[in-house]
Each structure stands twice: as C-alpha cells, then as structure tokens.
Amino acid sequence: MSRADFHSQNLETARIEARRLYGAKAELQGAWLNWVAAQIYTLRPAEYASMVRRELQSLQEKSDS
C-alpha cells in the first residue's frame, strides 16, 4: 500500500481519535499532556500515530486562535 493510500484510508479515523484525545483535555487538565503522549505511543503503526499527532496539533492550534 502506498503512503498516499494509507493516508486516505486512515485520515478520518485519525481525526476521530485526535478529537477523542483532545476531548479529555478539560477533564485531565495538568495530567493531560503525559496521558495523551502515552496514548499516542500505543498507536500502531507509527505512520498512523503520526497522523493522529498532526490532527491533535491542528485541533490545539485552532483552539489557541
């Protein structure tokens, strides 16, 4: 499977996962950063974890502006 195919097949799932992780931020507050890092660490394959990380970063940037 090409990288582009993998990306297109997993983008929506990565976005859903990022929203789930971001949604826990208010509840976990100061513990959130360590928790979310541990959650992302468990995601496989690494390319998928990177996609979730990018989507999570995008959500954070949108909330900061």
Condensed to tens digits (0 to 9), the pLDDT of residues 36-65 reads 999 999 999 999 999 999 999 999 999 988
Find tokens 């997993």 and name the residue: 10
- Residue 65's pLDDT is what? 84
Residue owning tokens 């100061």: 30
Q: List pLDDT tens digits, range 13-31.
A: 999 999 999 999 999 999 9
Q: Which of 41, 58, 33, 43 is nearest to 13 (CA)?
A: 43
Tell me the Cα Rg of the chain. 12
